Structure 1
Amino acid sequence: MFRFVRAFALQLSLLGAFAALWPGRVAASGLPYETYYRDGFGQTVKTQAAYLPAGLIKLDFNGPQDLFVDEKDHIYVADTGNNRIVHLDRDGTFVREIVVPESPLSRPSGVFVDGNGDIYVADTGNARIVRLNAEGRLVKAFGRPASAYIPDSFKYEPVRVVVDKRGFLFVTSLGAYQGLVQLDPDGGFVGFFGPNKAPFTLFDAFKRLVYTREMYAREPKKRPPAVTSADIDRDGFIYTVTREATRDQIKRLNMAGVDQLPGKGDFHHLQPVRSYGEILHPRSDSPSPQLVDLTVDDDGNVTVVDAVHDVVSQYDRNGNLLFFWGTETLTAAAKTGVVRAPAAIDQNSAGDLLILDGTNNLIHVLRRSEFGSLVHRANALTQAGRYEESEPLWEEVHRLNERYTPALIGLAKAAYKKERFDRAQELFHRAGVVGGYSESFWQNRLRWFQRHFGLAMNGLAGAALLAFAIRKVRRRRRTGRTGAAERTPAAIRPGNAGSGVSVAAQLKHAFTVLRHPADGFYAIRHEGKAGAAGSLVLFVLAMAAFAFIQAKTAFVFNPWQRLGVELPPLLVQFAGIWIGWVVSNYLTGSLFRGEGRFRDVLYGSAYALFPLVLIGVPKTVLSHALTLNEAALFRFLDTVMMVWIALLFIRLVQGVHNYAFSEAVAVTAASLLALAVLVAMLFILLGLGLELVQFLKSIYQEVIVR
């Protein structure tokens, strides 16, 4: 018995030692929510908990809408339903209630306390901002500002307020699409601050182009989404969050009202249009996040709450995601750490998050875990440019969670700072950071040129001499010819379709098509310069070139290939669209009295793809020697290739069907429209076929059961 007890005690001690070594994992076990990270490619990774439940603050609230933590960590709650401000100490113990008896509050929805202890209340029911001193006595009331720059239709309903060090007020008014209302310390109107942009779609552009002035005037006006809440950091930047927006919901505004977040994130090359607010398990029918409030810590990290999915998301000062957490499990009673219907969020000096639950009338307190603190310390050093100091911290984070991408990014930046560019390039590639990878590759390329400059110059000189010699030989051969080419027999009669032309000659004709497309396609139709064998070879080469482009373009210009490229579906799509074009163009040409036969369109469409081989393959090879600094060259080659292919297809329609150029353009457009109709019909038939199969399957199962 004693031996069994001793063995059991030894097991407990081992478990305790393991818990000490792995605090993040052990502490996170059994939590009512899960914590995740999502990289720039949309891949979700489960992480150790960044915050742990630290308690609930329950008082006699009635629909509270806002809370604020002052410099002493005292908590102020806008108890909207009870028409008061509740003051709590740092432990959540009740201190006092503020009701302003000389001018009672009505449905206060926002509260802010400045460095002097003055309390600002967004008194929504009275349509004013109230300034109180530290004792809660009325100092000044700011009603609707009087200004000719405020439209008469503007409805002033303050719901949030922040105040900068100068005493300027930034008021969030309910439904104000013009932005925050900026007031000077005396309540004078300064202007609207940080408005959002109105959504504008391609269909809106079409309506603007096609509609008359009268028709467009009858259209419902599109307004920018209104700012929902705001916060201010220690450097004076104003942060806004917008509930109804689907992009750029979070903004970091300087004093000029210019957003500082776009283009700052590590994944901005993958996500040029940034969307904030994470969903635990997104689906195609998932509603967009509805971000209602945010808080900013001393390092510029932004934490936001989502009122629809009940998810808390945290980003660094450049908009890079750090963590998000929540749960999809519904609970009948309030559970510590499980946020339902969040109304507001703030944090104290220790980094604890306080989340106000406006439905359950309580405050959740979340304390940063050891893993979360480690990430915050490492990221703060990285954001400050102290990469070498952050390296051991990021190494520890990476040891605890190898799939946590910010650790790879931090280590890559540290390696770059130490001029270990090979390792930096590898780590940036693993993390999927295009900008860092390009800069590291640029440094590695520079070093290679410095080491092999002589060899590179000799190689270029040798290539130039070889090209010069080849040109000389060709010129001599041309001068020795007596014009035998002009005395060759007449062209093959129409209708032979290349039966007397070798495959080599058919392939050589592809270069004639490139140089003289109208004559080249005319020769395919009327002189039999193309055949089935040559066209098949060209089409196979085009498909191979397309596959090579998709799979082998450098990471800098095609970062998504890092996730792997499934070539079979892409090749099936490529072949399907090409065949659909051939069919639709032949049918459209027949309707518009075109002279081309089906095989002429088929052969010519294979020749029109030749720029994929001629430009696409060298462009793809060249991409491995370029950085983002030379992206213009890569984009230029890509544009030339696509424009060239488009022109060749137009010339194909012109030459094969014997149209004028303007007619060829019109028929090409009609063929593309017919192709779209064919694709739509194919999807409809496919859907009906699947429904029929399911129907027959259900009947079969019903018969078997009976």
Structure 2
Amino acid sequence: MGILSLLLAVIILAGTLWPAGAWAFTPYDTNYKDSFDRLVWTQSAYNPVGVLGREIYIPDPKDPSKQVFSPLVQPKDLFIDDNDQIYIADTGNSRIVQLDEKGNLVRILDVKESPLKKPEGIFIDGKGDIYVADTGNKRVVRLDSNGKLIKEFKRPDSKFLPESFKYDPIKLVVDKRGFLYIATLGGYQGLLQLDPDGNFQSFFGANKTDFSVMDAFKRVVYTREMYLREISKLPGSVASVTIDKSGLIYTVTKEVERGQIKKLNIAGKDLLATKDEFSDSVVNRVFGEMRFPPKDKTKPQLNDLTVDRNGNITAIDSTLKYVNQYDGNGNLLFFWGGDASASSTKLGVVKTPSAIASNSKNELFILDEENNAVQEFRLSEFGALVHKANALTQDGRYEDSEKYWQEVLRLNAFYTPAVLGLAKAAYKKGEYVKAEELFKEAGFVQGYSDAFWQVRLQWFQKNFGLLMNVIVIGGLLIYLFNRFTRKSEWRRRWRERPRSRVPLVVQLKHVFYIMKHPIDGFTAIRYESKGSMASSMIILFFAMVSFGVMRAATDFTFNPSIVLDVNLITVFLQFLIVLIGWVVSNYLISTIYRGEGRFRDVLYGSSYAMFPFIIVGLPLTLISNGMTLSEGSIYNFLENGLYIWVILLLFWKVQAMQNYSVGETGMNIFLSLVTMTILGVLIFITFGLSNELKDFFYSVYQEVTIR
């Protein structure tokens, strides 16, 4: 009994001395997705440590000496000021609730001289003034630090503001100049920018309308009246906005597929869509993560975001309930989320996330609209380590970040940002071979290309003299050899040697004639028997092998998927299926479209047309391993030229073998492609029905055997 008492005392003492949150349970999985969209499980980045805002008591209106419970009702927004004071837009109660950093009630702001009505947004500036998006009253109010009304911003009176614009403020921020940036309900024009006096300045940070191929088709084909009857296609409206300590404005939008999060400078330029540190290309990022696509095909819908003191962006997803965290450049760090069961409530699982904020300690606070409370999350040891390493990397202190990234990699060998951080550190130190390997492992093409450039440059600097000597001496030897053997007997006999008359050899050599004279060459296959099954199959076999080599051996710079396992059997099957589909479809169309070619002519000609894969594809694969992205235009020119050459050969094959005009050839190819598509759909349906039929007969068999 004495031992049990002692043990219980030790446990209680340890519980009092152990850091808060150390025993926190995380009822969710934390993940990361690498450059190849592979899902990686990681240690928890944040641990849930508590719930705030549930114990709100106010004086009883009937008896001020008593306290009555006054819970939050459908709260919509959350803001944490520089002193870590927590402000909640308690929409259902038409008030602002202020809590201290520990969650204790400080005061209730309801602006008695001009009562609030369903406020949905809150912002505190550096002076302590309080700005409220008073949605129900269609205004923004400015209060001083004591909660006294200073000014209200109603709908601006400006000729530049469309009459159709609805002024329903839902979120807002204020910059250091006192300019207001207001997100309005359904405001597809962007943020409404007002000066400190409430005058309209402009719309800021608007999204662009997606313009699809179908939209372009409608614009060309439809009359003006038909086009005007179409439902207007508008850009997504900004759902929320925040601002960082540097004055950069961040917006989040639900109804767009790309660029859901924007980081805007004073000119309205999105810094997340600019060049990466090592990249020359401009990319439009996609934000909002998911582990696996839901069965109902629900897509992420980001509805609020916060920026911590390190510049990391954390956004909440109102649909899938995930929390997504990115660094200041928009690169994914973590995302996490648990099963928000309707029948239970768990610490750490937010049922209806409506707002998110962070304090000076980089802790996260997520407002749960359904549970009417705020959940607090604290960085774990792993999360803090990643933040420390990433902050050094973002500041360009790559060598200082190396030891931290090494520790992160020790804790999780599959966490790609650690590999990328070590790659940048190696590049900075001049360890280009190591950097090249690490960039490839991380799937970062530009960094890999830059490191390889340096490796190649060092090799040329080291071996340039030897290389030039070999070239000069080799050229001189060839010149001397030709000069002194030009009139020799054995050279004469070689030039006059009898040419091979073996049919297969002649047919294989005919492919070179086709490369120079395609129409005459394909005509010779049709009428002069210059092609055969054996020669066609040989060319087709080597073309298929060349295609497989291109897919599997092209350098990582131009073929990032090489990092993943390339299944050559799948590649070969894809090549053969497309070719067989083409041959069958083209023959069928030619038969009913006044064509003269036989099935074997179509097969032989199509096989010969694949020859560029051999004479261009293999050399291109070889030289790609010595090229960087700086020579990407050369590589793309050669690769595109290869496919254009194959297409032209197929065009000339149809024209020559079917005896078509140019217009008839084009129509034949178009109908052949349509037929290929129809055959593919029919085969897919057939296999699907076959599986259903098999399951049906199996079910019948089970019924019979059971009875």
How far 1:466 sits from its partner (Å)? 7.5
Q: Residues 418-497 of structure 1 correspond to what in structure 2 (within 5 A)?
A: 418-461=429-472
AA at the equivalent of 1:36 = N
Shift of 1:589: 1.1
| Structure 1 residues 433 and 191, CA gap change in structure 2 (3 angstroms) | same
TM-fit CA distance, 1:54 = 1.4
Q: Which residue number in structure 1 is paired with residue 67 of structure 2?
A: none
Name the SS for the 1:108 alignment partner: coil
Deviation at 1:205, TM superposition (A): 2.0
Letter in 2 for 1:552: A
User: What does the per-residue CA deviation read over 1:51-94, in whole Å, with 9 as the maximum and x for residues that have no partner?
Assistant: 11111011411111001000111011101111111111111111
Matches of 1:327 and 1:450 in 2, distance apart? 56
Matched residues, number = 682
1:76 partner SS = strand
CA separation of 1:463/1:232 partners in 2, compared to 1, >3 Å: closer, same or farther? farther
Distance 1:257 1:69 in 2: 25
Percent identity for Structure 1 against Structure 2: 50
Return closer, same or farther for 1:29/1:164 CA change in 2, 3 Å cut-off: closer
The answer as to 2:194 corresponding to 1:193 is no
- 1:55 aligned residue: 50
Q: Provide the residue aligned with 1:45 in structure 2.
A: 40
In structure 1, what is the equivalent of residue 535 of structure 2?
534
AA of the residue aligned to 1:31: T
Q: Partner residue of 1:694?
A: 695
Corresponding residue to 1:281 among 276, 292, 313: 292
Q: Aligned equivalents of 1:113 and 1:687: distance in 2? A: 59
Give CA-to-partner distance per residue, 1:257-279, whole Å, 9 cap, x none. 11111255689899955211111
How do residues 540-619 of structure 1 correspond to structure 2 at under 5 angstroms?
A: 540-619=541-620
Q: CA deviation at 1:691?
A: 1.4
CA deviation map 1:391-412 (0-9, x unaligned): 1111111111111111111111
In the alignment, structure 1 residue 128 sits paired with structure 2 residue 123: no
How far apart are residue 349 of structure 1 and its match? Answer: 0.3
* Pairing of 1:332-481 with structure 2 (within 5 A): 332-461=343-472
| 1:663–1:466 Cα change, 3 Å | farther
Instruction: Indicate if the aligned counterparts of 1:265 and 1:320 stay in contact, CA closer than 8 A.
Output: no
Summarize deviations over 1:208-227 as a string: whole Å, max 9, x none: 23223332222111000101
1:32 aligns with 2:27: yes
CA distance in 2, matches of 1:240, 1:284: 29
Of 194-203 and 603-612, the range deviating more from structure 2 = 194-203
Write out aligned runs for 1:146-295 (5 A).
146-264=157-275, 272-283=283-294, 285-295=296-306
1:445 partner SS = helix
Please report the TM-score for the alignment, with normalisation by the length of structure 1: 0.91
Q: Quote the residue 2:335 is aligned against.
A: 324
Closer, same or farther: CA 274–505 of 1 in aligned 2, 3 Å: same
Q: 2:470 and 2:287 mapped to 1: Cα distance?
A: 51
- Secondary structure class of the residue paired with 1:261: helix
1:645 aligns with 2:646: yes
Structure-2 change in CA distance of 1:470 and 1:44 (3 Å): farther
Deviates more, 1:281-290 or 1:215-224: 281-290
Shift of 1:286: 3.5
Q: What is the CA distance between 1:464 and its match in structure 2?
A: 5.2
The corresponding residue for 2:518 is 517
Amino acid at match of 1:620: T
Tell me, in whole angstroms, the C-alpha distance in 2 between the residues paired with 1:283 and 1:505: 58
1:596 is matched by which residue type in structure 2? G
- d(CA) in 2 for partners of 1:475, 1:28: 93
Query: CA 1:165 to 1:470, structure 2 compared with 1: closer, same or farther past 3 Å?
Result: farther
1:48 deviates by: 1.1
Residue 129 (structure 1) shift: 0.8
Once structures 1 and 2 are overlaid, which stretch shifts more, 175-184 or 147-156?
147-156
State how far apart, in whole Å, the 1-side matches of 2:640 and 2:73 are. Answer: 61
The match for 2:59 is none
CA contact (8 A) 2:613 2:642 kept: yes
Please tell me whether residue 656 in structure 1 is matched to residue 643 in structure 2.
no
- Say which SS state the counterpart of residue 238 (structure 2) adopts: coil
Deviates more, 1:28-37 or 1:568-577: 28-37
Provide the residue aligned with 2:326 in structure 1. 315
Q: What displacement does 1:458 show?
A: 3.3
What is the alpha-carbon root mean square deviation over aligned residues? 3.0
Partner letter of residue 328 of structure 1?
A: D
Q: Which amino acid aligns with 1:346?
A: A
**Residue 230 to residue 91, structure 1, CA distance change in 2 (3 Å):** same
Deviates more, 1:157-166 or 1:84-93: 84-93
1:83 to 1:606, Cα distance in 2 relative to 1, 3 A: same
Query: Per-residue displacement from partner, 1:400-436 (whole Å, max 9, x unpaired)?
Result: 1111111111111111111011111111111111111
* TM-score, normalization by structure 2: 0.91
Contact 1:40 1:271 in 2 (8 A): no
Contact map agreement 1:231 1:295 (CA 8 A) in 2: yes
**2:528 maps to amino acid:** E
Residue of structure 2 in register with 1:493 after alignment: none
Q: Supply the distance in 1 between the matched residues of 2:272 and 2:523 (Cα, whole angstroms).
A: 55
Partner-residue secondary structure (3-state), 2:120: strand
Using a 3 Å threshold, how does the CA distance of structure 1 residues 280 and 470 change in structure 2: closer, same or farther? farther
1:300 deviates by 1.2
1:185 CA displacement: 0.9
Alignment correspondent of 1:91: 102
| Residues 305 and 190 of structure 1, relative CA distance in 2, 3 Å threshold | same
**Residues 419 and 439, structure 2, Cα contact 8 Å, conserved in 1:** yes
Q: Which amino acid aligns with 2:669?
A: T
Deviations along 1:17-54, one digit per CA (max 9) or x if unpaired, are xxx9xx99x95884211211111211111111111111
Pairwise CA distance, 1:594: 1.2
**3-state SS of the aligned residue for 2:155?**
coil
CA–CA distance in structure 1, aligned partners of residues 540 and 473 of structure 2: 35
**Which residue identity lines up with residue 666 of structure 1 in the other structure?**
M
Q: Secondary structure at the match of 2:196?
A: coil
Q: Which amino acid aligns with 1:252?
A: K
Q: Distance in 2 between matches of 1:221 and 1:469?
A: 77
Aligned position for 1:65: 76
Cα distance in 1 for residues equivalent to 2:281 and 2:688: 33
* Distance in 2 between residues matched to 1:268 and 1:230, nearest whole Å: 28
Deviation per CA, 1:103-141: give whole Å up to 9, x if none: 111110000000000000001011111011101111111
Quote how far apart the aligned CAs of 1:197 are: 1.1
- Which letter does structure 2 place at the counterpart of 1:34? D
Q: 1:672 aligned to 2:698?
A: no
Query: Per the alignment, in what secondary structure is the counterpart of residue 239 of structure 1?
Result: strand
Contact 1:425 1:436 in 2 (8 A): yes
* CA 1:531–1:151: 2 relative to 1, 3 Å: same
State the alpha-carbon separation in 2 of the partners of residues 389 and 433 from structure 1.
21
Question: CA–CA distance in 2 between the matches of 1:361 and 1:240?
Answer: 25
8 Å CA contact 2:24, 2:47 repeated in 1:
no
Deviations 1:647-681 (A, max 9, x none): 00000001111112232122111111111111111
CA distance in 1, matches of 2:458, 2:105: 65
Deviations 1:282-308 (A, max 9, x none): 346431111110000122100001111
Shift in CA distance, 114/475, structure 1 to aligned 2, threshold 3 Å: farther
Give me the whole-angstrom Cα distance separating, in 2, the residues matched to 1:459 and 1:669.
52
| Structure 1 residue runs without a partner (length 5+) | 490-499
Distance of 2:499 and 2:319 partners within structure 1: 78
Q: Structure 2 CA distance, aligned partners of 1:53 and 1:77?
A: 19
User: Residues 157 and 470 from structure 1, CA distance in 2 versus in 1: closer, same or farther, beyond 3 angstroms?
Assistant: farther
Post-superposition shift, 1:449?
0.7
Secondary structure of 1:187's match?
Answer: coil
Cα distance change, pair 329–194 in 1 and its aligned pair in 2 (3 A) = closer
